[in-house]
Amino acid sequence: MIESHMGYLVALLLAVLLMLGISWWVARRTSTGEDFLLAGRKLSTPLVMGSTLATLVGTGSSLGAVGFAYQNGWAGALYGIGGALGIFLLLWLFSDVRKHGFMTFAEEMSYYYGASRAVKGVVAVLLFLASVGWLGAHIMGGAMYLSFLTGMDENLAKVVIAAGFGLYTVVGGYLAVVITDAIQGTILFLGFTILAVLSLVTVGGFDGLREGVSEEAASMLGVEALGPLPAVSLALVIAVGVLATPSYRQRIYSAANVRTVRRSFLLAGVLFAAFSLLPAVAGMSASGLAPGLENPDMAFPYLATTLFPLWVGAFLLVAGLSATMSSGDSDAIVGVTILMRDVSQVVTGRLPKAKNLVRASRWSLVAVLGLALGFALLATTIIEYITLMISTVLTGLLVASLLGKFWPRATWQGGIAAMLGGSVAALVVNNVESFGAFWGNAVIPSLTVALVAGVVVSLVTPRTTVTGEEALRRLAEERAELDVGTVVRGAEGGVETGSESEEQPKS
More confident residue, 1 or 215: 215
Cα 315 to Cα 17: distance, rounded to the nearest angstrom: 15
Residues 229-250: pLDDT tens digits?
A: 999 998 998 899 899 888 899 9
Residue 412 has pLDDT above 80, yes or no: yes
Measured distance CA(11)–CA(468) in Å, rounded: 52
Please write the tens of the pLDDT for every residue from 249-281.
999 999 999 999 999 999 999 999 988 888 889
326: closest CA among 146, 59, 144? 59
Question: How many whole angstroms separate alpha carbon 58 and alpha carbon 77?
Answer: 14
Give tens-digit pLDDT for 444-454. Answer: 999 999 999 99
Q: What is the pLDDT of residue 499?
A: 36
Q: How many CB atoms lie within 10 A of CB 370?
A: 12
- Structural domain contains residue 506: no
Which of the two residues, 472 and 166, has the higher pLDDT score? 472
**Is residue 505 one of the residues assigned to a domain?**
no
pLDDT of 485: 46
Domain for residue 458, yes or no? Answer: no
* pLDDT tens-digit map of 458-471: 999 999 899 999 99
Task: List the Cα angle 366/370/372 in 5-degree steps.
Answer: 120
Residue 213 lies in a domain: yes
Q: Are 76 and 68 in contact (CB under 8 A)?
A: yes
Residue 374 pLDDT > 90, yes or no? Answer: no
- Average of per-residue pLDDT values in the chain: 81
Q: Is pLDDT of 394 > 70?
A: yes
The answer as to whether 429 is a domain residue is: no
pLDDT of residue 92: 96
For residues 426 and 441, the answer to whether their CB atoms sit within 8 Å is no
* For residue 497, pLDDT beyond 50: no
Highest mean pLDDT among 217-221, 444-448, 487-491: 444-448
Q: What is the CATH number of the domain that holds 124?
A: 1.20.1730.10
Task: Report residue 390 CA to chain centroid gap.
Answer: 11
Which alpha helices (H) appear in 307-440, and where do they start and end? 310-338, 344-348, 357-375, 382-389, 395-406, 412-431, 433-439
Residue 291 is assigned to a structural domain of this protein: yes
> Which of 321, 441, 335 has its CA nearest to residue 385?
441
Could you tell me which residue, 387 or 167, shows the higher pLDDT? 167
Looking at residue 470, what is its pLDDT? 92
The pTM of the full predicted model, rounded to 2 decimals, is 0.84
**Residue 324: closest CA among 153, 185, 148:** 185
Residue 270: count other Cβ atoms within 10 Å of its Cβ: 14
Residue 69 within any structural domain of the chain = yes
Let me know: does 322 contact 177? Beta carbons within 8 Å: no
Q: 3-state DSSP call for residue 503?
A: strand
Instruction: Give the model's pLDDT for residue 179.
Output: 85
Give the per-residue pLDDT at 249: 92
Q: What are phi and psi of 487, to 5 degrees?
A: -120, 110
Look at residue 489 in the predicted model and tell me its pLDDT. Answer: 37
In this prediction, residues 311-334 reach a mean pLDDT of: 73
pLDDT cut 70: percent of the chain above it = 85
Rounded to 5 degrees, φ, ψ at 290 are -140, 70
* pLDDT tops 90 at residue 325: no
Q: How far apart are CA 62 and CA 188, in angstroms?
A: 9
Domain membership of residue 319 (yes or no) is yes
| Cβ neighbours around 45 below 10 Å, total | 17
Q: Which domain, by its residues, includes 344?
A: 2-380
pLDDT at 388: 64
pLDDT digits over 144-189, tens only?
777 776 777 877 888 888 887 777 788 778 888 888 888 877 877 7
Residue 215, SS3?
coil
Give the count of domains, the chain: 1
Residue 154, Cβ density class (10 Å: 0-12 exposed, 13-18 middle, ≥19 buried): middle
